[in-house]
A and B are shown apart, each in its own frame.
Chain A
Amino acid sequence: MRHLLDTRTLSRADALRILDVAEDMADTQQREVKKLPTLRGKTVVNLFFEDSTRTRISFEAAAKRLSADVINFSAKGSSVSKGESLQDTAQTLQAMGADAVVIRHGASGAPQTLATSGWITAGVVNAGDGTHEHPTQALLDAFTVRKRFFGDDSRGRDLAGLRVVIVGDVLHSRVARSNVWLLTTLGAHVTLVAPPTLVPQDVSAWPVQVRYDLDDALDEGVDALMMLRIQLERMGAAYFPTEREYSRRWGLDAGRLARLATDSIVMHPGPMNRGLEISADAADSSRSTVLEQVTNGVSVRMAALYLLLAGERARAGEDGR
């Protein structure tokens, strides 16, 4: 694996490989000494042009647990605010000897540009670009679903036959997009539920079923219910009349929570708007995987960094016993 840019082009074999390595990483995080020497001497740069606390911290924890050096670069207070271009920023990082660049950018496709431009030789990990993709979030979601349903028996398994319902602002959500591609690659059946104004126009080309009514979707049965955050900062235009109306029709309240089957789970990528898309009852219930998702995020990102950085292509035939 050279880069991790999206889940749309990620093969089933590669996806399972990341998830299985993440299982091994998760095992090491149960130990007293959580740090592994694996990426000693490698430098990982967190290049964040958009604010993010949890994703950046998660990548930082993952890199540090593997003994890589971490440099955090946020656009605020950097030369970017003085007008430096992505190219110049990237070449600066290259000159400092970055081995991997974890990038979050407001423009869809920025990680792709970074990976294919020839500006840098480092591996590129997409940590969210515009409304395009957020592959490590989808991988940690898939990991969490697999772990909840198959437990210690998870290695090597896909999600065939599981029904995942994704609810909320699909239009602006890179998490939803990455999940749609990854979950269907892994064999899950995905249903999107959103107000018509928050369904993307090109959704008919996606391998999903679309419902406008949450209760209809719940009636059809659900194994994992994924609530998306209503991104109030993106709500320049009016996509629904009021927050209260959204909450009543598309929010997960106590009544809808009670209708879920006993083993189905409730997911949220965080940060949550409690009382808007998810009620406190649902967020704190035993079905909720919110905190597991955070824990698993570190393991999945360790796996991605390991697969990107640990090996070197070519030079085969060396016997390393």
Chain B
Amino acid sequence: MSTRTVLHDADIARALTRISHEILESNRGPDDLVILGIPTRGVTLAERIGALVSEFSGRSIPVGALDVTMYRDDLHRNPTRAPQPTEIPAGGIDGKTVVLVDDVLFSGRSIRAALDALQDIGRPAAVRLAILVDRGHRELPIRPDFVGKNLPSARDERVNVRLAEVDGVEEVTIGS
């Protein structure tokens, strides 16, 4: 039972700053960007990235939340999860470039669920994926466009992202 911290608060801030610049660069500016976080911590990260992108581009970027609970394929294998609110910015997502944000990318199944959820809400021009920690072990052909940190891990290790707004502390840990 050992746990070590792989990202401290300054590392997280740096990673989000870099991701925000990369989003603007790959989108060639702030036009038609919509940033959607996947609850719980993805929403917090989306808000931070949204604020940074707005700051760097001088344009207010719409940020929202996309709950994927009701689209998961593992609902029957886990205790009932309470759905979280979905908040789509007023402009909608039709024809926009949607950047999905989540804290950890593991099997890829949450992202598959998110793609299904998006399809029921509208038709974006493109969907990108921003992830704070990519820990590998994908079970689906899904790959992130923007990564804070690639973290090689064993399948049974636990990766925990804690954020100040949600958990009171700011760190990413890995442990067995």
Contact = CB atoms under 8 A, between A and B. Distances in A.
Interface of A: 1, 17, 20-21, 23-25, 27-28, 31-33, 35-38, 66, 155, 306-307, 310-313, 315-316, 318-321
B81 A311 contact: yes
A311 B116 CA distance: 19
B72 interface: yes
B82 A31 contact: no
Contacts of B120: 31-33, 35-36
A24 B106 contact: no
Contacts of A24: 67, 83-86
**In the complex, which range does the number of interface residues on chain B fall in?**
20 to 34
Contacts of B58: none
B109 interface: yes
Nearest to B109: A320
Interface in B98-157: 104-107, 109-110, 116, 119-122
B80 interface: yes
A66 B75 CA distance: 13
A311 B69 CA distance: 11
Nearest to A35: B120
A66 B69 CA distance: 12
A218 B78 CA distance: 49
B74 interface: yes
Contacts of A306: 70, 80, 83
Nearest to B74: A320
B79 interface: yes
Interface of B: 67, 70-72, 74-86, 104-107, 109-110, 116, 119-122, 158
By DSSP majority rule, is chain A's interface helix, strand, loop, or mixed?
loop
A310 B80 contact: yes
B76 A311 contact: yes
5 contacts: A24-B67, A24-B84, A311-B78, A320-B77, A321-B104
Contact of A312 (B67, B76, B104): B76
B121 to A, nearest CB: 6
Contacts of A20: 82
Contact of A321 (B76, B83, B106, B119): B106
Nearest to B86: A27
Contacts of A310: 70, 75-76, 80-81
Given A24-B84, A27-B85, A321-B105, A316 B116 contact: no
A311 B85 contact: no
A36 B70 contact: yes
A318 B74 contact: yes
Most chain A CB within a 10 A radius of its CB, from B75, B107, B158: B75
A177 B80 CA distance: 29
A31 B121 contact: yes
Contacts of B72: 320
A320 B78 contact: yes
Given A36-B70, A321-B109, A17 B82 contact: yes
A154 B138 CA distance: 38
A313 B83 CA distance: 17
A319 B137 CA distance: 12
Contacts of A21: 82-83
A260 to B, nearest CB: 33
Choose among A25, A28, A318 the residue with the greatest number of B CB atoms under 10 Å from its CB. A28
A43 B121 CA distance: 26
User: Ordered nearest first, which 4 A-B pairs have the shortest CB separation?
Assistant: A311-B80, A321-B106, A33-B120, A38-B70
Contacts of B121: 31-33
B107 A28 contact: no
A74 to B, nearest CB: 29
A37 B116 contact: yes
Contacts of B75: 38, 310-311
Contacts of B70: 28, 36-38, 66, 306, 310
Contacts of B86: 24, 27-28
A318 B139 CA distance: 15
Contacts of B116: 37
A316 B67 contact: no
B71 A38 contact: yes
B106 to A, nearest CB: 4
A138 B73 CA distance: 32
